[in-house]
């Protein structure tokens, strides 16, 4: 046998020998007998090679999961079953201290990146958490990154103040990280569907459906909030956002206030309805509100005596169209069935409400 052929066969043999070390597909559960499998999600995400895909069979997995390496975690269907649910273990949840100092009890704790999670349900039933800590379905900690797609976060509530959160992403490091949250469902949550934190985090929330009872979305990072359906069923605020951020194409309904913005936020083409307070609350910092449709509200846009750019908005069925407007304002907007189009008379200092809080807030006890 020729020397080149011997070397070739030796190379192939070595590659075959180390093949298990390379990223591949692995299973949790018994629905994929052709794949290497694990009994628990925790065992899989700590045992597979970096970059692997972990396929989770339908079933209920009572465990607190920490993902400390890049991988994909994906729920799959088998037969007529199609839901992989992470629930609270009998031993309860252990809290961690986040990069900005908050105490958080996460059901899934991500500390690396990229970590992509899809087709998984996170259910906080039976957590028995009293705030503090916060109870969080999926927590992307400092230095992590990834995409959450087609995930359900539900039944996240705490005793005392409302501090249940569907997904929390933050980054206390100086290196930019990114997290995308898309096409996911949030419900039965007593504070926020999504919280983001840090100027070095570029976060994206798009195409999600959110039903939380506190602040819905608390956004203290860069990025964008687009094409989400946010229905508060009486919650306090739909989106609390500190810019610069783009908020566009969202549908918000049934809260006290719709969008509260400060710090250079661009709010465009949103549909806001049935707010007992204001459709939009301005907190200063050079925000832009354009081409929004605001219907059945107490106040269409609350200027709070700041000087945002406000143009081409349509305000229908409101007690007041534009409130606390500086005398210098001259933007063109449309009004239909509005009792008072505009109130002026601003003092030199802005009136309440002030700019959004600079960090996450639990919902007041009810």
Q: What one-character-per-residue DSSP string does 50-115 give?
A: TT-EEEEPSEEEE--EEE-S-EEEEE--BTTB--EEEE--TT----EE-TTS-EEEEEEEE-SS-E
Per-residue pLDDT, 339 = 98
Q: What percent of the chain has pLDDT over 90?
A: 86
pLDDT tens digits, 165-216: 999 999 999 999 999 999 999 999 999 999 999 999 999 999 999 999 999 9
pLDDT mean over 226-230 = 98
How far apart CA 286 and CA 339 sit, in angstroms, is 28
For residue 96, give both structure tokens: 């961690």
Q: Strand, helix or coil at 293?
A: strand
For residue 68, give both structure tokens: 């400390």
Q: Strand, helix or coil at 26?
A: strand
How far apart CA 337 and CA 313 sit, in angstroms, is 14
List, in order, residues 6 or more apart from 37 with CB less than 8 Å away: 26, 27, 28, 29, 30
Say yes or no to pLDDT of 15 above 60.
Answer: no
Average pLDDT over the chain, rounded to an integer: 92
Say yes or no to pLDDT of 286 above 80.
Answer: yes
Per-residue pLDDT, 348 = 52
Per-residue pLDDT, 149 = 98
Say yes or no to pLDDT of 9 above 70.
Answer: no
Per-residue pLDDT, 338 = 98
Rounded to the nearest 10°, the torsion over CA 325, 327, 329, 335 is: 50
Per-residue pLDDT, 232 = 82
Longest Cα separation, the chain:
96
Per-residue pLDDT, 160 = 84
Say yes or no to pLDDT of 240 above 50.
Answer: yes
How far apart CA 313 and CA 257 sit, in angstroms, is 17
> Confidence band (pLDDT; 50, 70, 90) for 346?
confident
Per-residue pLDDT, 283 = 96
Q: Which residues pair with 204 in a beta bridge?
A: 180, 224
Pick from 178, 223, 169, 195: nearest CA to 358: 195
Residue the block writes with tokens 């739909």: 238
Per-residue pLDDT, 172 = 96
Per-residue pLDDT, 8 = 41
> Confidence band (pLDDT; 50, 70, 90) for 122?
very high
Rounded to the nearest 10°, the torsion over CA 338, 340, 344, 345 is: -150
Say yes or no to pLDDT of 105 above 80.
Answer: yes
pLDDT mean over 4-11 = 42
pLDDT mean over 89-104 = 97
pTM over 0.85: yes
Say yes or no to pLDDT of 363 above 60.
Answer: yes
List, in order, residues 6 or more apart from 340 with CB less than 8 Å away: 319, 320, 321
How far apart CA 228 and CA 342 sit, in angstroms, is 29
Per-residue pLDDT, 21 = 53
């Amino acid at each position: 046998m020729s020397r080149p052929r011997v070397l070739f066969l030796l190379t192939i043999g070595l590659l075959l020998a180390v093949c298990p070390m390379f990223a591949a597909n692995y299973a949790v559960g018994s629905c994929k007998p052709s794949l290497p499998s694990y009994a628990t999600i925790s065992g899989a995400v700590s045992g597979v090679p970096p970059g692997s895909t972990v396929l989770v069979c339908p079933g209920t997995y009572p465990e607190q999961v920490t993902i400390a390496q890049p991988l994909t975690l994906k729920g799959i269907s088998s037969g007529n079953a199609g839901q992989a649910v992470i629930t609270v273990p009998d031993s309860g949840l252990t809290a961690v201290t986040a990069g900005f100092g908050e105490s958080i009890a996460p059901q899934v704790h991500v500390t690396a990146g990229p970590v992509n999670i899809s087709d998984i349900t996170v259910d906080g039933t039976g957590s028995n958490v009293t705030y503090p800590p916060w109870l969080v379905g999926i927590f992307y900690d400092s230095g992590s990154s990834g995409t959450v797609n087609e995930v359900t976060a539900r039944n996240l509530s705490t005793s005392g103040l409302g501090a249940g959160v569907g997904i929390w992403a933050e980054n206390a490091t100086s290196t930019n990280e990114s997290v995308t949250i898309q096409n996911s469902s949030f419900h039965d949550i007593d504070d926020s569907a999504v919280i983001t934190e840090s100027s070095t985090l570029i976060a994206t929330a798009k195409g999600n459906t959110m039903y939380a009872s506190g602040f819905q979305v608390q956004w203290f990072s860069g990025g964008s909030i687009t094409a989400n359906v946010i229905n508060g069923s009486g919650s306090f605020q739909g989106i609390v956002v500190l810019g610069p951020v783009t908020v566009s194409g969202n549908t918000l309904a049934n809260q006290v206030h719709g969008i509260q913005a400060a710090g250079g936020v661009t709010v465009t083409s949103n549909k806001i309805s049935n707010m007992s307070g204001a459709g939009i609350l301005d907190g200063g910092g050079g925000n832009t509100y354009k081409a929004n449709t605001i219907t059945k509200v107490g106040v269409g846009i609350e200027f709070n005596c700041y000087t945002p750019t406000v143009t081409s908005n349509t305000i229908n069925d409101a007690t007041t169209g534009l409130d606390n407007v500086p005398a210098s304002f001259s933007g063109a907007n449309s009004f239909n069935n509005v009792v008072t189009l505009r109130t002026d008379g601003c003092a030199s200092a802005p009136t309440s409400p002030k700019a959004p809080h600079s960090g996450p807030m639990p919902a007041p006890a009810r």
